[in-house]
Chains A and B, each alone.
Chain A
Amino acid sequence: MKRKNKKRVPYCNKLHIFDTYSKNPSATPMFKKFASLQWKSFFRSSALGKSLGVKVLMGFFAVYMLVSLALLGASLFFLLQKTVPETDPLLVVNRFLLYWILAELFLRYFMQKLPVMDIRPFLILPVKKSSIAHYVLARSTVSIYNLLSLFFLVPFCTVLVMNGYPAPNVLFWFLGVVGITLSINYINFIINKSDKALIGVITVLLACYALDRFDVWPVTEYVGRLFYSLYENPFWVLLPLAVAALTYYINYAFLRNRIFLDAALRKNTRQVIAYDMEWTRRLGRIAPFLQLDLKLIWRNKRTKTQVFISLAMILYGLVFYTMEDFGPTSTMLVFVGIFMTGIFLMNFGQFIPAWDSEYYSMMMSQNIPLRTYLESKAVLIYVSIGAMFLLSIPYVYFGWEALAINFSCALYNLGVNVPIILFFGSMNKKRIDLTKSAIGNMQGAGAAQFLVGIPLFVVPLVIYFLVSFLVSFEMALILLSLIGTVGFALRKALLDKITKAYQRKKYGMVAGFKEKNS
């Protein structure tokens, strides 16, 4: 009853804003008003009304990222001077510009979307469609993705000038790269989530790398020179700027003619294929739930992205295994093992059962035994741990210890961390909107998500550290595996206990998952 009041707030704001708009339909102040509207929508968004802890943490990450980018920008010149002393650092940077462009296209494909849906309310107001189109595009120009590269470029260029590079040339190079960034920005919208374009980008990326790596044709060498000419000959700077302007115009022309509810502003509803997934039937009574979970993961943006992130995280170990500082039996590598084999366990598991929050009251009144429901989630995570372990087998290249560590970590995850994460799930009360993107999305995160990290990581690390220090590396791994095996053997009893916890918290969950603005 009380909650209804909360939801009404943004609605009132909108009405209020409409009022101010209808009074002044002229074009130029319009833009300013659009911008102020944007500002309000950010500061009044429910995301900002999140609990303080989450806000602080997100702010911390944002600052951390910006500072690291700026530091990288400032130090890259000297780093390159040291590592490749015989080549001009700017030339080296230019060589890798191509990879940066392709990688950015790849990332933006997943993360960035033209915010066309927000302009629906303006259709019925006396606002020119052309100014709406310009506004949407201009807004994307100042998006965080474009600002990120500035955070890197500005310090880098400053350092260049301080080290005797002629300022006008650096400026032109800077403008050229900004032009490229903007072009990427607009090209991404033209591509507009086409899978074919994504595959194209990946193919070009891999092809360039392969050509380079196996000395077939020096792509970076060649492309580097091309970008370097931006610096040498300021005339070339016109090209990226022209491309940016052209792509802007293409987007504009496209949008301008499609600002109708049934064209650009409609959510894409693709034809879908219904699957019956007969093969899951062999799993017996958990089959319907497993099918549901697989569809959940595959058909929703946030979960789908998380699968890709999880798979990519298998490379995380390379960071540590290639560092000489860690011996082959360092505790850090156990952390890596738990992390790599348990990445899906953490990403997906920590939000059980909030993934089903949109229809949780149905699940609770339908003929569903809670235990079977949880069992199917557990099986899904078991499978993910197995798959991640198989993917981690190539680490055996760094020695048999790597394989042994990952294996015992996988066992530990199976037996201990699965029940732990499921148990912590019973504390979830925050709704998750499945259609929102995964990256930087803290929706559904609460204190439980941060607390759960402690038992997941700290306990196995301490066990390993102590035993390997006091007894031996082998003993420590055997102990971890043994604990995992025992936990796995006791999984039925543990699941019973967890089910009870979920039953106790049922009403709170039902109520919490209904709250949209959490």
Chain B
Amino acid sequence: MISVQNLTKKYGAQTVLNIGHLEIPKGQSFGLVGNNGAGKTTFFSLLLDLIQPTEGHVVSNDIRVDQSEAWKPFTSSFIDESFLIGYLTPEEYFYFIGELRGQNKADVDALLATYEDFFHGEILGQRKYLRDLSKGNQKKAGIVASFIGNPEIIILDEPFANLDPTTQIRLKGIIKDLAARQGVTVLVSSHDLIHVTEVCERIVVLNKGEIVRDIQTSAETLKELETFFAGKSSSMAE
């Protein structure tokens, strides 16, 4: 589904991302972990053609993302609050995204109904603009908006941050379901190793822009990741 060859991104002399080769098959739930500055958001921005790669390119479903816009209909994402339109109500925002993705109001309403649990009564019918919602609720709205229009690829940057425990648990269920039952390729980044190991079939560890681990999730994965990051912190302390 997504294929990356010799992808690098440099700012001046500093290389922030350097990925030799990476294939993400369709329907995989893919987790990206790494410390701050490891290149997670940079990688996602390159997938969405929001920044220009210094070398190499991203191919999504046989489409080079920096040359054609044809990847847009089957790709959706929520990176941060800058993906929300502050002066719309959540409903208006969902309908707007729906329209962009060829879904009428009824389609969007039907989809939203399935996320009633997730919203926990704090998003719909609040008569508030998105800019006036709390950070957590903004995030909920953004995440659900990325599910509109049956995308084949969903990219979520740090989806668990700022969410309350109940919502985190629900989101984990949703992501697993999307990948397992609906064949959606879900890319998730997180600082929380427990969440990622629970949700993702495959976990890639980025460190200073390079892939240092590529793990098929198993019972030992969490231990392995913890050992890796603990080792990093002790080596940093020295």
Chain A interface (Cβ < 8 Å from any Cβ of B) = 1-2, 267, 269, 271-276, 287-288, 291-292, 295-296, 299-300, 358-362, 364-369, 434-435, 507, 510-511, 514
- Indicate if the CB atoms of A434 and B82 lie closer than 8 Å: no
Q: Pick the contact of B83 from A2, A276, A359, A367 — CB < 8 Å?
A: A359
- Indicate if the CB atoms of A299 and B127 lie closer than 8 Å: no
* Residues of B with C-beta under 8 A to A511: 51
- Indicate if the CB atoms of B82 and A368 lie closer than 8 Å: no
- Indicate if the CB atoms of A365 and B82 lie closer than 8 Å: no
**Contact of B69 with A by CB under 8 A:** yes
Closest-by-CB residue of A relative to B12 is A2
Q: How far is the CA of A457 from the CA of B85 in the complex (A)?
A: 34
**Contact of B158 with A by CB under 8 A:** no
Q: Pick the contact of A514 from B48, B82, B83, B84 — CB < 8 Å?
A: B82
- Indicate if the CB atoms of B96 and A292 lie closer than 8 Å: yes
Q: How far is the CA of A507 from the CA of B11 in the complex (A)?
A: 14
Closest-by-CB residue of B relative to A356 is B85
Q: How far is the CA of A305 from the CA of B140 in the complex (A)?
A: 32
Chain B interface (Cβ < 8 Å from any Cβ of A) = 11-12, 14, 16, 37, 45, 48-52, 69, 72-73, 75-77, 79, 82-89, 91-92, 95-97, 99-101, 105, 127-129, 131-132, 149
* Residues of A with C-beta under 8 A to B84: 359, 362
Q: How far is the CA of A276 from the CA of B91 in the complex (A)?
A: 10
* Residues of A with C-beta under 8 A to B88: 292, 295
- Indicate if the CB atoms of A368 and B100 lie closer than 8 Å: yes
Give the distance to chain B from A510, nearest Cβ to Cβ, in Å: 5
Q: How far is the CA of A272 from the CA of B83 in the complex (A)?
A: 21
- Pick 10 A–B contacts, CB within 8 A, sort by A: A271-B127, A288-B99, A296-B87, A299-B129, A359-B82, A362-B82, A366-B100, A367-B73, A367-B101, A369-B69
Contact A359-B72, Cβ < 8 Å, known A271-B127, A274-B92, A367-B100: no
* Residues of A with C-beta under 8 A to B73: 367
- Indicate if the CB atoms of A1 and B11 lie closer than 8 Å: yes
- Indicate if the CB atoms of B96 and A365 lie closer than 8 Å: no
- Indicate if the CB atoms of B50 and A365 lie closer than 8 Å: yes
* Residues of A with C-beta under 8 A to B85: 292, 358-359, 362
Contact A507-B72, Cβ < 8 Å, known A358-B82, A361-B79, A365-B77: no
Contact A366-B87, Cβ < 8 Å, known A1-B16, A1-B37, A271-B127: no
Closest-by-CB residue of A relative to B131 is A435
Give the distance to chain A from B237, nearest Cβ to Cβ, in Å: 24
- Indicate if the CB atoms of A299 and B87 lie closer than 8 Å: yes
Closest-by-CB residue of A relative to B99 is A288
- Indicate if the CB atoms of B91 and A274 lie closer than 8 Å: yes
* Residues of A with C-beta under 8 A to B76: 366
- Indicate if the CB atoms of B100 and A276 lie closer than 8 Å: no
- Indicate if the CB atoms of B49 and A274 lie closer than 8 Å: no
* Residues of B with C-beta under 8 A to A435: 131
- Indicate if the CB atoms of B51 and A510 lie closer than 8 Å: yes
* Residues of A with C-beta under 8 A to B86: 358-359, 434
Q: How far is the CA of A360 from the CA of B48 in the complex (A)?
A: 13
Q: How far is the CA of A516 from the CA of B191 in the complex (A)?
A: 25
Give the distance to chain B from A273, nearest Cβ to Cβ, in Å: 7
